[in-house]
Amino acid sequence: SYTIGVDIGGTKIAIGVVDEKGAIHAKTILPTDHTATPTQMVDRIQQAIHGMLMDLGPGKEHVLGIGIGVPGPIDKTKGKFLCPPNLPKWANFAVVDEFQKYFSLPIQFENDANAATLGEKWIGAAKDNRNFVYITISTGIGAGLYINGGLVSGASGNAGEAGHIVIDPGKGTCRCGQKGCFEWVASGTAIARQGSELLGKHVTAKEVFQLYQEGHPAISSLISEIVTYIGMGCVTLINLFDPEKIVIGGGVSEVGEVLFAGIQNYVRQYALSPKGRETAIVPAALRQDTGIIGAAALIFLR
Ligand code: ADP
Ligand code: ZN
């Protein structure tokens, strides 16, 4: 049996036909066309899905459902987008109703970080965990809470917005209006911004980490500050949820050991409980297809 995973993002829409073991049997990437209406985009998505199912042939009748992951915030009970900054035309769009016009299959809908969390539970770094927190450090920071053996969605599907935990109010105003949010100080965008300010020229987050490896002094203190900020975010989540593990994904997690060792060290010092101080901080196992796998997991793990 198959599930359709749909990951709607600001630059691309990834659609996959996924089997019950998490193998992707067909995949389509559509560029997010910002001149098209969301209704037109859903029509393109359903055409892609029907095309992929045709090509697959036998077995296509065993599609269990469609999982949809989208940038938060969302209204989960209404199956609607709220006001995604990177998808302005999709504000208040009832995406689940629109899909239901084409498919009489069960549809599950979550914000993309929550979907990725279920992906890590299903076939990733948290397969054996009943309690873990997933954090994605990418353009922004998002998180998902998998607690007592289930995803914590909250009343409207927006639980786990850890990117807007306040970390350092002295550091300027986040896009949400608060000062010094986790995402404002430690996302890939934030690392690039602060690195560029220090150097007086534009650099990416990846370049900032390269300069760090080369021992650039001003960048070294910036990176140790960033690692501390990520450590603070992790300690807050550990103290709140008592997870067995924190899984970190997203582009910035590609930096690897430099980052993970520093965060582990911070957690070892400051988490409140002795057990909390031992919480494993591990990289996400899923990479380029996180969005599709996470969306498919919404069906397979429900
Ligand atoms: P998206 O936010 O679109 O999901 P990513 O998860 O790839 O995309 O995150 C993009 C951010 O991650 C950018 O700020 C980018 O500079 C940063 N990034 C990507 N790869 C690396 C890397 N190897 N090292 C450090 N930062 C990286
Ligand atoms: Zn914020």
Q: Atom 25 (ligand 1): residue with closest C-alpha?
A: 206
DSSP designation for 239: H
Q: Which two tokens stand for residue 263?
A: 């965060």
Q: How remote is the CA of residue 79 from the centroid of ligand 1, in Å?
A: 28
Task: State which of 187, 252, 253, 290 you would mutate to test the pocket of ligand 1, scoring each by most atoms of that ligand within 8 A of its C-beta.
Answer: 252
Whether 209 lines ligand 1, by a CB cut-off of 6 Å, is yes
Amino acid at 272: L
Residue nearest to atom 3 of ligand 1 (CA): 139
pTM above 0.80, yes or no: yes
Q: What tens-digit pLDDT sequence spans the chain (302 residues)? A: 899 999 999 999 999 999 999 999 999 999 999 999 999 999 999 999 999 999 888 766 689 999 999 999 999 999 999 988 889 999 999 999 999 999 999 999 999 999 999 999 999 999 999 999 999 999 999 999 999 999 999 999 999 999 999 999 999 999 999 999 999 999 999 999 999 999 999 999 999 999 999 999 999 999 999 999 999 999 999 999 999 999 999 999 999 999 999 999 999 999 999 999 999 999 999 988 999 999 999 999 98
User: What's the CA-to-centroid distance between 288 and ligand 2, angstroms?
Assistant: 26
With CA atoms as reference, report the closest residue to 195 among 214, 169, 173, 176. 214
Pocket lining: 283 vs ligand 1, CB cutoff 6 Å: no
Residue type, 32: T
Asked whether the bond before 73 is cis by omega within 30 degrees of 0, the reply is: yes
Quote ipTM for the complex: 0.97
Cα of 291 vs centre of ligand 2, distance in Å, is 23
Cα separations (Å) of 274 from 45, 136, 270, 271, 277? 49, 25, 10, 8, 5
Question: Tokens 């203190």 sit at which residue?
Answer: 221
Give the number of the ligand closest to the Cα of residue 251: 1
The closest of 139, 262, 286, 266 to 212, measured between CA atoms, is 262
Ligand 1 pocket residue status of 192, Cβ below 6 Å: yes
